[in-house]
Structure 1
């Protein structure tokens, strides 16, 4: 069934890939972002973006370290979305979130994760038909992690044990869920993860070895320290179950998806 699907945050990593996936499958996609005049923070443009839509997908993102800033953003945007969904009669909300975001052992030092946990709570308690998708980290995020953690030839990475996957494959699984559950009247939560468990440094080393650089850097020394907390370092980001994607890091590098 062809649907009208509004993707909020369509200019971001996962939003843009999801929009492409849905368009390739024949759906009408409304790419909503501040670039297209839609600001979920204030609600400007939301009614136009959601009017007549079958599904709205929240892929919004905010770079925020402070928990108060992140919570205010994600709670506020989710509240605007819920209000507009009711006004416009949108049938379903899909929220793309992060595996482990609501775990206090994981989010204690990560304001962004606390914000995502607050976002999930707004949607889960809204009474609307909601699917919350917990995605593990994407290989593509390592560019930014290394860039931020590097000084000269040395990178001191946060120790994060992850079951990472390709952003493109994550988008494909999200698109599958949007299509497969169109007739399901219930709200649900699911998780998407990669096939392997590895640390930040192990993933960065593999990318650096394959490509010669990572995040525009060529570090000669890769260290890692648990400065984002033991919850992340000890596997709090790795889901115990969920949809397991088959594409390994080595295969992703060989396919040059990034």
Structure 2
């Protein structure tokens, strides 16, 4: 459906910026919203104005908090502000971009960030608005940040984490397809995304290093993995059992370049 007004919250982030690009390519009127644009979803300042007249609001907000209380406060609070503002402005559909497995206690027990994402999902799913929850696995592009956080000198101590990663651009394309298909639907919907291969992030890091020589500016001489985020994450709790399986492999993504 062309010609919608779509507000993208968190439009400066990895997925928000790519999704906004995708939607604009489809001739939608996209409002790219972030704190730099004067909208603060934490307090609600500017939200109603950003959503006024919009057909769809997409929550791509992100806050990498390790403490559960901090993450839950951020994600629950921002979601509540978005729901209230969207209801006041008559937005037809809300889209929450979340993480596959985030609500599983075996996954979120040790990582507060996932507890926050689970709280975010809960706010949207109980809002009585027309909502799409997008549950995606990790993106290849996130490896830059993972290596920066996990590296100490020449050694990267990675969490044992089994994922089915996909390209962020492909994830944005699938979300844009869902938005086009769902705006007239009054029912709640769920979109689950995963990549074609299951691997640990250490295996992914090794493949990227072999192809590029560095990740996020890091050139570790040793990649160690330890299950410090728990057995749920180590054992594949972040890999969805079903959903859309994107066909772009890590090797093809590397061959085509980081913007493929």
Q: Normalization by structure 2: what TM-score?
A: 0.98
User: Hey, which bits of structure 1, 4+ residues long, moved more than 2 A?
Assistant: none
1:75 matched residue in structure 2: 76
1:148 matched residue in structure 2: 149
Inter-partner Cα distance in structure 2 for 1:180 and 1:250: 31
1:247 matched residue in structure 2: 248
Alpha-carbon deviation of 1:86?
1.1
1:7 matched residue in structure 2: 8
2:120 matched residue in structure 1: 119
Pairing of 1:55-74 with structure 2 (within 5 A): 55-74=56-75
Alpha-carbon deviation of 1:153?
1.1
State yes or no: 1:171 paired with 2:184: no
Alpha-carbon deviation of 1:181?
1.3
What's the secondary structure of 1:72's corresponding residue? helix
Which 5+ residue runs of structure 2 have no aligned equivalent? none
Equivalenced residue count is 258
Alpha-carbon deviation of 1:182?
2.0
Pairing of 1:94-105 with structure 2 (within 5 A): 94-105=95-106
1:236 matched residue in structure 2: 237
1:36 matched residue in structure 2: 37
Alpha-carbon deviation of 1:174?
0.3
Alpha-carbon deviation of 1:158?
0.4
Inter-partner Cα distance in structure 2 for 1:252 and 1:163: 14
Alpha-carbon deviation of 1:189?
1.2
2:47 matched residue in structure 1: 46
C-alpha contact (below 8 Å) 2:157/2:224 kept by paired residues: yes
Alpha-carbon deviation of 1:257?
2.2
Which 5+ residue runs of structure 1 have no aligned equivalent? none
1:216 matched residue in structure 2: 217
Alpha-carbon deviation of 1:183?
1.9
Inter-partner Cα distance in structure 1 for 2:158 and 2:101: 19
What's the secondary structure of 2:183's corresponding residue? coil
Q: Normalization by structure 1: what TM-score?
A: 0.99
What's the secondary structure of 1:140's corresponding residue? helix
What's the secondary structure of 2:140's corresponding residue? coil
Inter-partner Cα distance in structure 1 for 2:214 and 2:55: 42
Inter-partner Cα distance in structure 1 for 2:188 and 2:194: 20
- Which deviates further from its counterpart, 50-59 or 138-147? 138-147
RMSD: 0.7
Alpha-carbon deviation of 1:152?
1.2
